[in-house]
Amino acid sequence: MMRLLFVLVLCYHTAFTQDMKTLRNRYYEALQHATSADKLYDEMKGKTISDPLVMAYWGSVQALKARYSWNPYNKIKYLKQGLQTLQLAVNRDAGNLEIRFLRFTLEYYIPAFLGYSNELTTDRVKIVELLGKKRFGKLDKPLVMNIVQFMKDNGKCTPAELKVLNSVSYE
């Protein structure tokens, strides 16, 4: 019985990891192409999403629709929906590095005059804390190191935070 349970858990973990890799790749494609963003949005829309990380990607996809929309009303609507979904994901798993990073990067690229970058400081502090404590979750080395590099390059970190980021290693 225990062996069967172990096999089922292992299969679920493997399938979830593969699904997340696919979702990440599709999201990165959507960042580059409106048609990819529309397709991913349509596929995720209406699905019940309980996993906080998948929810964070859904929020990011919603907000990404704002980037490709020409109608100002739709831009704001998609952005607000995305930020609300991302907030739900953070509420469900506040210590998840990838969720925090998704929200941070979204807010980083929102023009400040719109007033939707309210969690930049909170997320920056949490991201640096998680990286400093090596709480990478299930992220692989290239993704962790890309997060570190983005955080170092974005100009938002304090000298103390940069010191932490410079000491991050993936073992």
Predicted confidence (pLDDT) per residue in 132-164, tens digit? 999 999 899 999 999 999 999 999 999 999 999
Let me know: does 76 contact 70? Beta carbons within 8 Å: no
Residue 86 resides in a domain: yes
Domain contains 40: yes
Q: What is the pLDDT of residue 46?
A: 87
Whether residue 138 lies inside any domain: the answer is no
* Number of domain units in the chain: 1
Which DSSP category does 110 fall into? S
Q: Is residue 105 part of a domain?
A: no
pLDDT band at 17 (very low <50, low <70, confident <90, very high): low
Domain annotation covers residue 120: no
In a domain, 63, yes or no: yes
Give the pLDDT of residue 171: 77
36 domain residue, yes or no? yes
| pTM metric for this prediction | 0.87
Cα–Cα distance, 30 to 101 (Å, whole number): 17
Distance CA(48)–CA(7), nearest Å, equals 26
Structural domain boundaries enclosing 38: 22-93
